[in-house]
């Protein structure tokens, strides 16, 4: 278990890095009194929202906890229940701590930007890095700790069913929090943003972040609870699920392999060494002679990725010993329906350390390519964004048409990249190869989340600079810092959904393996010619659509409430528009809080309840085997359709946003032109696409899969098999 | 073969009905000189476009014809080549004749509307009925004729491979034309519509169909080439593919059944008797005391559907004799991979006539339910359209957000209906049950197409009334007639895509059966746990997205060209806006013609070439069996994703359009209000959604499937097996 201890040390280093960097951030000057006032309002609003969100989730969480204990632990030793709680709590902690540093770094970034661009960049990125490293560190600690505790200090129980069960429950806890946090935060941020824009920019004709707008604090709060806390919970979940399911797959496929413990520890140590490379990467974020901010962030990202290559190689070599020796050669699967070759090896022969290394390199390549493709589709230097900007000249309608066309198109290259990765990784090392590719992708989470969490800090810094009336040159610097935020945010979402596609394939494999183990006498036909498979695919494919519809409608409804609230404030106190009285920011924050919490419940339960319903209905109509077939197909249907829905929404939304920015930079008539008005419409449409519905598809896919695994386990525990 | 002769007689009756009704339409008065002038310009433009479109398709068609003869007929007796040509030519004929009557009925509808609403309704619906009955009649004649010729007059060869091959080639011919016609027509109509609106309504501030707008004739031409000719080609294809694939499935599954000839003839006679009920239905389209136009159209539709119940029952009884005797009990499949039970029978026992009858009743129920659901999502009396209208009050952005939410949501109920239909039909009679459900759906095509083809006639009639300066009360009548057109058009598209989903399942079954017959030594793993199946699903799911993106971009580009052309005409001759000189309508028509033809080629070839590429690449990387697995999965991927893309686009687009109409009826501020402007944006966005990209997904799905079947046949013929 030396390897696992090493991974735990890496996780602790991440936490220590987080603590030290937080202190660095907090030591920096926090600006003048007015700035601090504004920042305090944002802090207060964010804290109030998150508190209420977590309290609501806690109620659902406790109910689920009891169900988990009752059905999964068979109301005995609460292994699953405790793991579930651990995943849920740590997911919440990552989001909460990240947001707390974010709402303190925003004002300090504005203050630092008074002196230099580099100062502002450093402050904002450091805050993002705290969130990023905490996500990766806590994620790694939770899995390693659970594994260490259950597998025993000698690792004797590494492949035992209890380990698989606990890791699944851990992932479930993280997923359940993340879907609520992603959706609640997403609804909050976009309801406030869209509402503030509609009533401020469009109706009252005042600029964004104008202090006279009663929704402006809510808008800034939203950036933190959505893009920081929600995103952190999402990536924590993605991290835990991906690494967890890789270990589970290894445990299921290589149950009797000689090196089982070593191979199960490999994902952990890979996660560990990549935390170290991510930390090294954070020190490379510096403006070069070109002054490009995106370039500075990419320096950090690429440093981390490139250093990960030797780091992963040596970690693999250290863990497995001989890189060319066959591992898992004597592995077999009992009755899972999948052939041993398909799971544990390939036509090309047994798995070796070298092959796993190459699979992880595929994961790194996918990460790099997805970043590059997302940048192409959302950056202002390339055809897609420019075509939307050009289409804005002929009006609102053509802007939206072109944006939708780009959003549909943007799915093509990521799909091809994922398809090639699946084929090559599978040829190298079977399904386990795909799992290790996904693990290497997620190992970069520390750096990727840092890039993303940078966004809300700079966005807030710009808002504070505007509201506090800082000089124009400061506002220019914060604008420049903020401009790259759209791209970095889109990048993270593409990365998350791409890794979700790989993870979902591995989860499906876990499902079939579990099925074989728990229901050995049942023959489940997963052939495409089985109509219940088609039915499952169709129902699974429906989920992202229905979920997206609910998310979009929720934003529309909540934004409408914001508009009416702001109109009422303007009407009741004309002094607000005159600038003589202060609007009631807190009332708006409170309104959005209540609306977001209310709206997040039903859509979040959709992916939790649907798999259960589908299983019981189909099993009732056509028997248990067809029920399992339809349920399994549903898991793939949700990823096949969800991948496209999520990519099209997040890339399309980012492209719309940057098309507006491109016009504001003086193209096609610049700010205030007809083209600009059309681009604002496109941006508004893209908002719930890219920040509410789209990103929430990722946890939705995972939770559907995990609920299916848990349902299997519960049915098995209940002796239904 | 008595049954087949009876079907042929029904097909001939449909053609005779078409000829007689055409004469009735043409005998009606064609209005004053000015109206005739305008109508002549539309006729000329439509003829010019269709001529050029067919010439372009002919070039592609001849190339494909040679390939079909070379690879499928093994450069021998051209059975496949002749069938291909027959399908292609008749598909073109149905569209061409329908459009020709449509461009003559438009002006006569305007003239009839001068005296009464009923007069206008009768004229427009009769014209639609000509197209509808021609589509069904020619479709039925082509299949029956091919079958009669190849099966022999005694039906001895009914199940021979040559019959299967010829029916597949016939379907391919129809599909190839329909994808070009749907897409070319769709691009034409929306480029003209969007272009005319942008430069007329938005820039110049003149109303729709204002004779000063140089794009107004092109707009009216577009209604005919898109909604009439393109739609007719599409439904002809759907009809031929569905009935053809039902026969193919029967031939493959029940190869050795005693009643093979009778069961293979059953889809033909069902199509035949439903032509008769459709004709009876057309006589019921009359305004009742409520004066509801939609009600009048529904009277015709429901008459046709309800009369079909006994008609189908007696046709089935007459064809099969004993309704309760087991048929196909001795059927088996050799080596197809699918179990004989899955294909030919069910756990509930052997197939009987009664069970097939119930499957067909499921088809009728699906038809009715899809019509009802589409009406709910696109009608002005229900929540969805009203929610979009309400969201328009807060601006362009919220209108589009709500419209997108509705478009996502609108996929849910149709999917559930289809899923239930699949499960029940399969439980009753296996995959053949699903095929017969689809056949009964398509048997209603005569009436459904009539409802759809009614739309462009009334749309044109309104345009002619406006341009010819007819009195306000006439314009009110044509507006009322036109208003229901959005819903009837959406209804047809929902129906087409719904039937495509059922047909695609049957096509996939034909694919696996063919594979078993042609490559008996190959074991193809269609299990979901095979990564090449996942790869195929993902690549298939990508096609509708990429295709949609291309279609939307094409419309944007072509509409932009229209805007510039119209601006140039306004600039060069200020007399146009002053109303003193006549704009050059023909130049705009010519421009849109060229643009649409150019833009339709690449996206149309996408579904033709993709299956071929996927097979050869995957087969090259992982062997022939995995190539076939990926290709098969691709066929299902394209339907799983295409169903959602198509329904969301067509229902969403219809809802946007009617939200605008709802506001124009005086709600939320009425015409000219801010809400109305936002609704116009939504309508513009919905245009390419519902009339270009969305409807073209249906032929795209079918063509992907048929190309896969042909590729299999070609590989088998080449001795690759």
Q: What is the DSSP string of A193-217?
A: HHHHIIIIIIII---TT-TT-TTHH
pLDDT digits (tens, 9 = 90+) for B583-603: 898 899 989 999 999 998 899
Q: Report the 10 Å Cβ neighbour count for A568.
A: 12
Pairwise CA distance, residues B69 & A493, whole Å: 49
Q: With bands split at pLDDT 50, 70 and 90, how would you rate the model's confidence at B672? A: confident
Residue among A538, A651, A675 with most chain B CBs within 10 A, to mutate: A538
Q: How many CA atoms lie within 13 A of A348 on its CB side?
A: 14
Pairwise CA distance, residues A12 & A24, whole Å: 18
**Residue B162, Cβ density class (10 Å: 0-12 exposed, 13-18 middle, ≥19 buried):** middle
Question: Span B484-499, mean pLDDT?
Answer: 87
Helix (H, G, I), strand (E, B) or coil at B275: helix
Query: Which residues, numbered 426 to 465 in chain B, qualify as contacts with chain A under a Cβ-Cβ cut-off of 8 Å?
Result: 426-427, 431, 434
Q: Which of A699-713, B65-79, B147-161, B345-359 has the lowest mean pLDDT?
A: B345-359
Q: With bands split at pLDDT 50, 70 and 90, how would you rate the model's confidence at B717? A: confident
A386 pLDDT above the threshold of 70: yes
Pairwise CA distance, residues B228 & B454, whole Å: 9
B392 has a chain A CB within 8 A of its CB? no
pLDDT digits (tens, 9 = 90+) for A33-42: 999 999 999 9
Provide the mean pLDDT of chain A: 90
pLDDT digits (tens, 9 = 90+) for B605-663: 899 999 999 999 999 999 999 999 999 999 999 999 999 999 999 999 999 999 999 99
Asked whether the beta carbons of A277 and A308 are under 8 A apart, the reply is yes
Provide CB contacts within 8 A for B199, sequence distance 6+.
B213, B215, B562, B563, B566, B567, B570
CB contact under 8 A, B637 and A640: yes
Pairwise CA distance, residues B713 & B611, whole Å: 14
Nearest CB to B526; choose among A527, A538, A559: A527
CB contacts, 8 Å: B528 with chain A: 508, 526, 528, 533, 632-633, 636
Query: Which residues, numbered 558 to 597 in chain A, qualify as contacts with chain B under a Cβ-Cβ cut-off of 8 Å?
Result: 559-560, 563
B624 has a chain A CB within 8 A of its CB? no
Q: What is the DSSP string of B32-101?
A: -HHHHHHHHHHHHHHHHHHHHHHHHHHHHHHHHHHHIIIIISTTSS-HHHHHHHHHHHHHHHHHHHHHHH
CB contact under 8 A, A398 and B541: no
A479 pLDDT above the threshold of 90: no
Asked whether the beta carbons of B524 and A623 are under 8 A apart, the reply is no
Cα-based distances in Å from A455 to A184, A695, B53 = 19, 15, 50
CB contact under 8 A, B556 and A398: yes
ipTM for the whole predicted complex goes beyond 0.90:
yes
CB contact under 8 A, B559 and A394: yes
A480 pLDDT above the threshold of 60: yes
CB contact under 8 A, B636 and A537: yes
Instruction: For residue A130, give the nearest of A295, A256, A323, A279 by alpha carbon.
Output: A279
pLDDT digits (tens, 9 = 90+) for B96-140: 998 999 999 999 999 999 999 999 999 999 999 999 999 999 999
Helix (H, G, I), strand (E, B) or coil at B351: strand
Provide CB contacts within 8 A for A67, sequence distance 6+.
none
CB contacts, 8 Å: B253 with chain A: none
A198 has a chain B CB within 8 A of its CB? yes
Q: What is the pLDDT of residue B256?
A: 67
The H or E element that residue B573 is part of is none
B337 has a chain A CB within 8 A of its CB? yes
Nearest CB to B409; choose among A398, A529, A546: A546
A20 has a chain B CB within 8 A of its CB? no
pLDDT digits (tens, 9 = 90+) for A329-348: 433 333 333 444 444 444 45
Nearest chain B Cα distance for residue A4, angstroms: 31
CB contact under 8 A, A397 and B532: no
Cα-based distances in Å from A600 to A232, A693, A696, B205 = 17, 11, 11, 43
Query: Residue A395 region, left (φ>0) first, then alpha (ψ -120 to 50), else beta?
Result: left
CB contacts, 8 Å: B527 with chain A: 337-338, 526-527
Helix (H, G, I), strand (E, B) or coil at A30: coil
pLDDT digits (tens, 9 = 90+) for B511-559: 988 898 889 888 899 998 899 999 999 999 999 999 999 999 999 889 8
Cα-based distances in Å from A84 to A142, A168, A172, A435, A703 = 11, 8, 6, 22, 13
Q: Using a pLDDT cut of 70, give the percent of chain B over it.
A: 96
Residue among A252, A503, A529 with most chain B CBs within 10 A, to mutate: A529
Pairwise CA distance, residues A451 & A448, whole Å: 5
Pairwise CA distance, residues B171 & B88, whole Å: 8
Q: What is the pLDDT of residue B335?
A: 32
Residue with tokens 């002809």: B236
Residue among A408, A567, A621 with most chain B CBs within 10 A, to mutate: A408
Pairwise CA distance, residues A13 & B460, whole Å: 73
B423 has a chain A CB within 8 A of its CB? yes
Tokens representing A306?
């490139």
Q: What is the pLDDT of residue A453?
A: 92
A482-494 exposure pattern, b = at least 16 Cβ within 10 A, e = fewer: bbbbbbbbbbbbb
Query: Which residues, numbered 97 to 156 in chain B, qualify as contacts with chain A under a Cβ-Cβ cut-off of 8 Å?
Result: none
CB contact under 8 A, B434 and A531: yes
Nearest chain B Cα distance for residue A398, angstroms: 7
This prediction's pTM: 0.93
Instruction: For residue A717, give the nearest of A69, A74, A65 by alpha carbon.
Output: A74
Q: With bands split at pLDDT 50, 70 and 90, how would you rate the model's confidence at A434? A: very high
pLDDT digits (tens, 9 = 90+) for A186-195: 999 999 998 8
Q: Report the 10 Å Cβ neighbour count for B383.
A: 11
Residue among A397, A421, A545, A643 with most chain B CBs within 10 A, to mutate: A397
A655 has a chain B CB within 8 A of its CB? no
Tokens representing A692?
């509410």
CB contacts, 8 Å: A533 with chain B: 528
pLDDT digits (tens, 9 = 90+) for A348-378: 568 889 999 999 999 999 999 999 999 999 9
Backbone angles phi, psi at B413, to 5 degrees: -65, -45
Instruction: Tell me how many degrees the CA angle A646-A650-A652 measures, rounded to the nearest 5.
Output: 115
B215 has a chain A CB within 8 A of its CB? no
Q: Report the 10 Å Cβ neighbour count for B144.
A: 27
A403 pLDDT above the threshold of 90: yes
CB contact under 8 A, A408 and B533: no
SS (HEC) of B600-663: HHHHHHHHHHHHHHHHHHHHHHHCHHHHHHHHHHHHHHHHHHHHHHHHHHHHHHHHHHHHHHHH
CB contact under 8 A, B401 and A529: no
Provide CB contacts within 8 A for A554, sequence distance 6+.
A187, A191, A599, A600, A603, A692
Pairwise CA distance, residues A617 & A614, whole Å: 5
Provide CB contacts within 8 A for A547, sequence distance 6+.
A603, A606, A607, A693, A696, A697, A700
A63 pLDDT above the threshold of 70: yes
pLDDT digits (tens, 9 = 90+) for B280-339: 999 999 988 888 999 999 999 999 999 999 999 999 999 988 888 877 643 333 333 344
pLDDT digits (tens, 9 = 90+) for B20-59: 999 999 999 999 999 998 999 999 899 889 888 999 999 9
């Amino acid at each position: 278990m030396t390897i696992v201890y090493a991974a735990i040390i890496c996780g602790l280093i991440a936490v220590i890095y987080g603590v030290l960097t937080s202190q660095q951030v907090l030591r920096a000057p926090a600006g003048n009194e007015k700035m601090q006032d504004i920042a305090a309002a944002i802090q207060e609003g964010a804290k109030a929202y998150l508190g209420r969100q977590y309290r609501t989730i806690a109620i659902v969480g406790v109910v689920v906890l009891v169900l988990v204990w009752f059905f999964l632990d068979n109301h005995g030793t609460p292994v699953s229940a405790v793991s579930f709680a651990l995943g849920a709590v740590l997911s919440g902690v990552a989001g909460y701590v990240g947001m707390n540093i974010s709402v303190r770094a925003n004002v300090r970034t504005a203050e630092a930007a008074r002196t230099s661009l580099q100062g502002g960049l450093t402050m904002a990125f450091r805050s993002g890095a705290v969130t990023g490293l905490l996500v990766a560190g806590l994620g790694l600690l939770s899995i390693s700790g659970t594994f260490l505790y259950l597998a025993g200090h000698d690792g004797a129980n590494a492949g035992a069913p209890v380990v698989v069960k606990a890791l699944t429950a851990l992932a479930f806890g993280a997923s359940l929090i993340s879907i609520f946090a992603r959706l609640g935060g997403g609804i909050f941020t976009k309801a406030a943003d869209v509402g503030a824009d509609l009533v401020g920019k469009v109706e009252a004709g005042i600029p964004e972040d104008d202090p006279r707008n009663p929704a402006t604090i809510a808008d800034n709060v939203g950036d933190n609870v959505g893009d920081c806390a929600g995103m952190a919970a999402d990536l924590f979940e993605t991290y835990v699920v991906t690494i967890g399911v890789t270990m589970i797959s290894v445990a299921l496929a290589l149950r009797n392999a000689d090196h089982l413990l070593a191979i199960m520890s490999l994902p952990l140590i890979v996660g560990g060494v990549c935390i170290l490379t991510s930390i090294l990467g954070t020190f490379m974020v510096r403006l070069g002679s070109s002054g490009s901010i995106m370039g500075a962030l990419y320096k950090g990202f690429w440093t981390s990725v490139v250093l990960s290559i030797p780091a992963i190689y040596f970690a693999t070599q250290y863990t497995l010993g001989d890189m060319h020796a066959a591992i898992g050669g004597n592995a077999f699967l009992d009755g899972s329906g999948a052939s041993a070759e398909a799971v544990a090896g390939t036509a090309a022969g047994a798995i070796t350390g070298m092959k796993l290394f190459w699979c992880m390199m595929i994961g790194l390549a996918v990460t790099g390519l997805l970043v590059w493709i997302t940048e192409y589709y959302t950056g202002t230097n390339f055809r897609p964004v420019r075509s939307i900007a050009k289409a804005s000249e002929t009006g609102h309608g053509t802007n939206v048409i072109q944006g939708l066309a780009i959003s549909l198109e943007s799915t093509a290259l990521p799909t091809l990249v994922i398809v090639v990765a699946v084929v090559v990784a599978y040829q190298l090392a079977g399904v386990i190869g795909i799992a290790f590719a996904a693990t290497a992708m997620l190992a970069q989470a520390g750096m990727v989340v840092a890039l993303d969490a940078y966004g809300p800090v700079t966005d807030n810094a710009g808002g504070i600079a505007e509201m506090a009336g800082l000089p124009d040159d400061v506002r220019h610097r914060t604008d420049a810092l903020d401009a790259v935020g759209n791209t970095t945010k889109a990048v993270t979402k593409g990365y998350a959904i791409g890794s979700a596609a790989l993870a979902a394939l591995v989860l499906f494999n876990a499902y079939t393996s579990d099925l074989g183990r728990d229901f050995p006498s049942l023959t489940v036909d997963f052939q495409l010619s089985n109509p219940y498979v088609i039915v499952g695919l169709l129902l699974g494919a429906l989920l992202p659509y229905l979920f997206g519809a609910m998310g979009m409608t929720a934003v529309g409804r909540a934004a409408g409430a914001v508009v009416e609230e702001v109109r009422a404030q303007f009407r009741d106190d004309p002094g607000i528009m005159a600038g003589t009285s202060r609007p009631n920011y807190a009332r708006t924050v409170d309104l959005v809080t209540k609306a977001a919490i209310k709206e997040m419940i039903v859509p979040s339960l959709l992916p939790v309840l649907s798999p259960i319903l589908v299983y019981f209905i189909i099993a009732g109509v056509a028997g248990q085997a067809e029920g399992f077939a339809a349920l399994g197909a549903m898991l793939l249907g949700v990823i096949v359709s969800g991948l496209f829905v999520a990519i099209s929404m997040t890339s399309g939304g980012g492209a719309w946003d940057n098309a507006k920015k491109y016009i504001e930079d003086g193209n096609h008539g610049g700010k205030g032109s007809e083209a600009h008005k059309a681009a604002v419409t496109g941006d508004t449409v893209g908002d719930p696409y890219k920040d509410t519905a789209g990103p929430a598809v990722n946890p939705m896919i995972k939770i559907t899969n995990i609920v299916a695994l848990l349902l299997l386990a519960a049915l098995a525990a209940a002796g239904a098999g």
